[in-house]
Amino acid sequence: MPANDAEKVRDYFERASDLFNSIYTGEKSAFGRLLDKLLRPDLKERFVLTLREIQHEKPQSLIDIGVGPGQYLKAYVELGVPRITALDFSKPMLDLAENLVGEPPGGVQVSYVVADFMEYEPDQNYDISIAMGVFDYVADPETFLLKMKNISNRCVLASFPSISVWRTPIRKVRYAYKRCPVYFYNRARIETLARKIGFKDFEITKIRGSGMDYFVRFDCD
């Protein structure tokens, strides 16, 4: 991601950490909760799909890239994944995640890393790398996804925002006002990315509804 874009995204998430946290906690006005129900039902569905993959794979290690306020992370800890890296370039987001998770149970190790993923160099690979709600803000998805592939032993799990006749223009305007770049995908673009990077097998699930995310599993074997 170009430096200026990365800085804009980082700045936005540091300003908006409490807002994103409220999407999951519901700590907002009745009108705000109604908007989330109408405009963000895909968040719940991609959460369910992600946990289904984790329960199926039973990984010994994973990295959550763009961990956000930590709802996914808390679930991974509760599922007993032994080694977890929670990475985000927004320290306020990581602080929320660490506060939510608290002290992990015995046998589970969580490392909190404040870093840009493209600058992060792990000392060993992970069974699974995860990026939910991240490719929305990535200017160079090919390089980003390739790095995820290179540090993963089994698979990559990621979401991609789809293109909607009405939802996409609204989101573009909202994020332009917030000075944060945002990007959108169709199935063909995701398939092209996967093949260009060298994924032989991948499964694209379109979450029901106009403008909802694609949930994608890329197999690394």
Task: Tell me the pLDDT tens digit for each residue of 50-65.
Answer: 999 999 999 999 999 9
Q: Is 144 exposed, middle or buried (0-12, 13-18, 19+ CB in 10 A)?
A: buried
CA distance 30 to 36: 10
Whether residue 91 has pLDDT greater than 60 = yes
Residue 208 is predicted with a pLDDT of 85
Chain segment 106-137, per-residue pLDDT in tens: 999 999 999 999 999 999 999 999 999 999 99
Residue 30 is predicted with a pLDDT of 42
Domains assigned to the chain = 3-219 (3.40.50.150)
Its pTM stands at 0.84
Averaged pLDDT score across all residues of the chain: 85
Residue 11 is predicted with a pLDDT of 65
Q: Tell me if residue 22 falls in helix, strand or coil.
A: helix
CA distance 91 to 53: 28
Residue 32 is predicted with a pLDDT of 39
Closest Cα to residue 76, out of 63, 94, 90? Answer: 63
Q: Where are the beta strands (DSSP E) in 6-117?
A: 61-65, 83-88, 109-114
Chain segment 28-54, per-residue pLDDT in tens: 444 334 334 444 567 889 999 999 999
Residue 210 is predicted with a pLDDT of 65
Chain segment 137-183, per-residue pLDDT in tens: 999 999 999 999 999 999 999 999 998 887 788 877 787 767 888 89
